[in-house]
């Protein structure tokens, strides 16, 4: 079982400046498309003690800002504040901005689709932003490549998901420029890591097509999913059928 904790959610949360409850309500209404036609948790859970990787706080602790937390509390009792169980957990909570909350749900067996956090809806993707501040599409949280089945099977991601995910983030960026900056920094981190590894960055463009960001030059070019490779326990599994 994997125990490494993700830094993604705490890393991407900005400082809220005004109430954004209504913003998150709108985002929840519009961003409902699942990442794929498959229940992808069936693919990763067998490698994670039976729990989908992204629904297990042993792997990733979702962080929401206080406005999203208010909204979630008003809609459901699915979520509660996360209780640190280890030094790593305590470090995650200590690193968090004071206006953010680490949360955990009741688990995959009790999931309520309408009451998933934005982090749940977007996982395992974030908007990829260039140095020139252009949003090119969706990139995956690379540090989950060894656990998340979707990141070894980008062909399953539906165009509807790509559209809704990008629109959700753009709605948030319009009210919260800091969120844009944090995702821009995350994209820059990814370029640094992939340049060191001499790997292309796999991207799903706004048009639903696949692209590669070349290491070092960061030039964008069309790509095929075969070039993206497969990772961890999924390396030798059959390739999943493409989304329609
Ligand atoms: S998004 Fe990835 S980690 Fe989450 S359930 Fe699907 S395959 Fe598993
Ligand atoms: S709300 Fe659903 S998708 Fe989100 S972590 Fe819980 S079980 Fe997973």
Domain boundaries, the chain: 3-234
Would the CB of 54 count as within 6 Å of ligand 1?
A: yes
Residue 108 Cα: closest atom of ligand 2: 7
Name the residue among 5, 24, 22, 6 with its Cα closest to residue 179. Answer: 24
The pLDDT of residue 108 is 95
Are the CB atoms for 174 and 166 separated by under 8 Å?
no
Please identify, by atom number, the ligand 1 atom nearest to the C-alpha of residue 151. Answer: 2
Question: What is the rounded average pLDDT of the residues 62-75?
Answer: 93
* Packing angle of the helix pair 21-30, 66-75 (nearest 10 deg): 60
Nearest atom, ligand 1, residue 123 CA: 1
**Residue 62 CA to ligand 2 centre (angstroms):** 9
Q: How far is the CA of 52 from the centre of ligand 1 (A)?
A: 6
Averaged pLDDT, 214-243: 90
Nearest ligand for residue 112 CA:
2
**Ligand 1 lined by 41 (C-beta under 6 Å):** yes
List the structure tokens of 126. Answer: 């974030």
Atom 4 in ligand 1: residue holding the nearest Cα: 54
Does residue 44 have its Cβ closer than 6 Å to ligand 1? yes
Tokens of 31: 């961003």
Res 240 pLDDT > 60: yes
pLDDT score at 1: 20
Return the DSSP state at 112. Answer: -
Residue 244: its pLDDT value, please?
A: 54
Give percent of the chain with pLDDT exceeding 70: 91
Residue 146 CA: which ligand is closest?
1
Alpha carbon distances (Å) from 97 to 63, 71, 94, 191 = 10, 19, 8, 25
Whether pTM exceeds 0.85? yes
């Amino acid at each position: 079982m994997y125990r490494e904790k993700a830094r993604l959610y705490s890393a991407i949360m900005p400082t809220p400046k005004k109430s954004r409850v209504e913003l998150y309500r709108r985002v929840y209404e519009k961003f409902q498309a699942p990442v794929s036609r498959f229940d992808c948790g069936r693919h990763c859970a067998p490698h994670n003690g039976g729990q989908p990787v992204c629904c297990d706080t042993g792997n990733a602790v979702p962080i929401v800002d206080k406005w999203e937390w208010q909204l979630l509390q008003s809609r459901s009792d699915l979520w509660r504040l996360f209780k640190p169980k280890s030094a790593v957990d305590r470090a995650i909570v200590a690193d968090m901005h004071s206006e953010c909350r680490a949360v955990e749900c009741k688990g995959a067996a009790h999931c309520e689709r309408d009451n998933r956090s934005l982090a749940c809806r977007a996982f395992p993707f974030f908007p990829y932003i260039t140095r020139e501040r252009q949003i090119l599409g969706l990139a995956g949280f690379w540090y989950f490549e060894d656990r998340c089945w979707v990141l070894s099977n980008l062909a399953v991601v539906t165009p509807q998901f790509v559209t809704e995910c990008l629109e959700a983030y753009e709605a948030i960026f319009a009210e919260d420029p800091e969120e844009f900056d944090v995702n821009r920094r995350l994209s820059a981190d990814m370029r640094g890591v992939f340049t060191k590894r001499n790997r292309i960055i796999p991207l799903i463009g706004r048009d639903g097509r696949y692209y590669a960001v070349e290491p070092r030059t960061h030039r964008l070019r069309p790509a095929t999913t075969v070039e993206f490779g497969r990772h961890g326990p999924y390396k030798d599994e059959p390739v999943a059928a493409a989304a329609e």
